[in-house]
Amino acid sequence: MVLDTCFIEDYINVYKHFMKKIILLALWFGWSSTIQAQQNYEKAYKKARTLTNTHQDSAMVWATKCLTLAKTNAQKYKAHYLRGFNAKKLCLHGAALYDYRQARRFAPDSVSYFRVTNNLADTYLQTGDYKTAIRLNQQCIKFQKQAKEWVRLSYAYNLKGDILRKGEDINALKIMLRVIKLRKKYAPKQLGYAYERMANALATFSRYDSAIAYQRLAIKHHPIKSPENTASLHIQLAKYLIMSDKAVQAYRHLEAAKPLKKPPMMQLFWKHTYGLYLAKIGKMTVARQIFDECNDLLQGLIDNAPDWVTKRTVSEYAKELYQNILALKRLRPTEHQLYETRLRAVKASYHQANSELKLKDTLYRQKIAQKTNTNITANQQSVGYVWWLVSLIGVIGGMYLFWQQKRLRVAGATMAIANAPEAATSVNVVGEVGLKNSGNDVTSDAKSFAPEQLEEIRQLLAENNLIKLIEQKTGLRLPLETKEMIRLYYQGLSMQKIAQKMDSTFGSVRYRFRNIAEKTGHVSFKDFINDYRSQQKEMIRNSEQEK
Q: What is the CA angle 498-500-506, rounded to 5?
A: 70
Q: Do 249 and 241 meet the contact criterion of CB atoms below 8 Å apart? A: yes
pLDDT for residue 81: 95
Burial label, 28 (beta-carbon count in 10 A; 0-12, 13-18, 19+): exposed
Whole-angstrom distance, CA of residue 255 vs CA of residue 252: 5
pLDDT, the chain, mean: 82
CB hemisphere CA count around 380 (13 angstroms): 8
pLDDT above 50 for 410: no
pLDDT above 80 for 483: yes
Give the mean model confidence (pLDDT) for residues 341-349: 91
Whole-angstrom distance, CA of residue 78 vs CA of residue 35: 18
Domains of the chain, by residue range, sit at 453-546
Name, in order, each residue with C-beta under 8 angstroms of 59's C-beta and a sequence gap of 6 or more.
48, 49, 51, 52, 82, 83, 86
Whole-angstrom distance, CA of residue 100 vs CA of residue 67: 14
pLDDT tens profile 395-409:
666 666 566 555 555
**Secondary structure letter of residue 523 according to DSSP:** S
pLDDT tens profile 280-332:
998 999 999 999 999 999 888 888 888 888 898 999 989 989 998 998 888 88
Give the mean model confidence (pLDDT) for residues 36-52: 84
pLDDT for residue 180: 96
pLDDT above 60 for 4: no
Name, in order, each residue with C-beta under 8 angstroms of 386's C-beta and a sequence gap of 6 or more.
29
Count of helices and strands (H, E) across the chain: 21, 0
Q: What is the CATH number of domain 453-546?
A: 1.10.10
pLDDT for residue 425: 36
Q: Do 295 and 272 meet the contact criterion of CB atoms below 8 Å apart? A: no
When comparing pLDDT for 20 and 237, which is higher?
237
